[in-house]
Amino acid sequence: MPQADNPLRRLSACGQSVWYDDIHRSLLTSGELARLIAEDDLRGLTSNPTIFDKAITSTHEYDTEIQRQLRAAPEQSSRELFYTLAVADIREAADLLRPVYHATDGVDGLVSLEVSPDLADDTEATVREARALHARLGRANVLIKVPATRAGLPAIAELIADGIGVNVTLLFAVERYEAVVDAYLSGLERRLESGRSVAGINSVASFFVSRLDTALDPLLAACRPEWQGCLAIANAKAAYRRFKEFFESPRFAALSAAGARPQRLLWASTSTKNPAYPELLYVESLIGPHTVNTLPPATYEAFRVHGKVRSTLETEVETALAKLTGLAELGIDLNAVTDRLEEEGVAAFARSFANLLADLEAKAAELGASV
C-alpha cells in the first residue's frame, strides 16, 4: 500500500497518534515493530499483564531467557522474574521508538509499563514501585501505568512532581477524569514551585471505551434500544470537551508558559466487543487533535486496510451529551455503572497478574528450574 493511502498514517493529519496495544519478544527481534513504525507511522506501544501473560507463558519465545535468568539468580520470585523479562522488552521497544520520540520533540515514541495491579489501592506502594521501575528502565521515552483509582490519584500527582511520565489507566467516568487532570496539574505545579522544570513531562489519560457500551446496552435494551452502542462514544466526547476546557484554562496557561504539555486523552479498549457493531466503530468515531488511540493487532490491521479517516471527535457533541444526561431519566445511574467498571477492571487486571505469576512459575518448573 502506498504510504499516502495508508489510513493509519493519515490519522496524524487529524492530530491523533496511533499506538500498538501489544508486545512480545519476536515483535521486537523480528523487525516487525520497526516495520510498523516505518510503514504505518506507529508512534507508541502499550502493555498490560494480560498481554505479557500471553506473550511469556503461551509461547516459547522467552524460554531461553527464563532459563538464563534462573541460572543466574535461582532464588528470585516469579514477580522478580517477570519484571526482569518485562523491563528488557520495554527497554528494547523504547529504543526502537527513540527516533519517533526525537522526531516528535518527545511527544510520541512512548512505551508503557504497568505497576503491579495488586497495588491499585495502595498509594505509597504504587509510588515506590513506579519510581523503581522508572529508574530500572532508564529510558526517557517510557510511561509508568497507574490506575485511576482513588488511591492512584495522589500517586499520579507525586510521580508527575518527580518528573516521571504517567499513563493513567482504567478510566471510565468523566468525573474521575477531572480528578486525574487535577492530579496531573497539581504535580506540575508542585514541581514548578520547587524550582524544577516542567518541560518535556509526558502523561496520557486512558479511557476504556467499549466496556461502557457492554455494561449499558443490556440496560437500554427495553427502554432505548436506539441508544445501544452510542453511550461509550458519547462519554468519550464529553471527556474530550472537558479536556479542552482544562487545557485552555488560565491554570494550564501558566504551566504551558513554563514548557508543560497537555495530558492527552488516550482511547483504550477500542476493539468492538459486540459483533453486531461495525468493526472500527470506536476508532472511526473518536478521531481528533491531541489524542491517542492504542489498537490491538486485529483492530490495527483492520484500520490499516479499510479505515475511514475524518475528524469525528467534535461532531454531534450536543446530541451525545443529551444522551448521557438522559440516562438518569431512564433510571440508569451512570456513576454506579462506571464505579462498577472500575472495580471490575482493577480486579480483572489483578487476576491477570496473579495468573501471569502462576503461569510463569509453572513454566519455570517445566524448564527444569524453580522460582
By annotation, the residues acting in catalysis are: 145
Cell digits of residue 149: 483509582
Please give the span between the terminal C-alpha atoms of the chain, in angstroms, as a whole number: 47
CA atoms of 334 and 324, how far apart (whole Å): 8
Q: Evaluate whether 125 touches 141 at the Cβ level (below 8 Å).
A: no
11-15-21-22 Cα dihedral, nearest 10 degrees: 70
CA atoms of 190 and 184, how far apart (whole Å): 10
Rg over alpha carbons for the chain, rounded to the nearest Å, is 20
Q: In the chain, what's the furthest Cα-to-Cα distance?
A: 63
Looking up cell 489510513, which residue turns up?
A: 7
DSSP letter at 260 equals -
Can you tell me whether residue 248 is helix, strand or coil?
Answer: coil
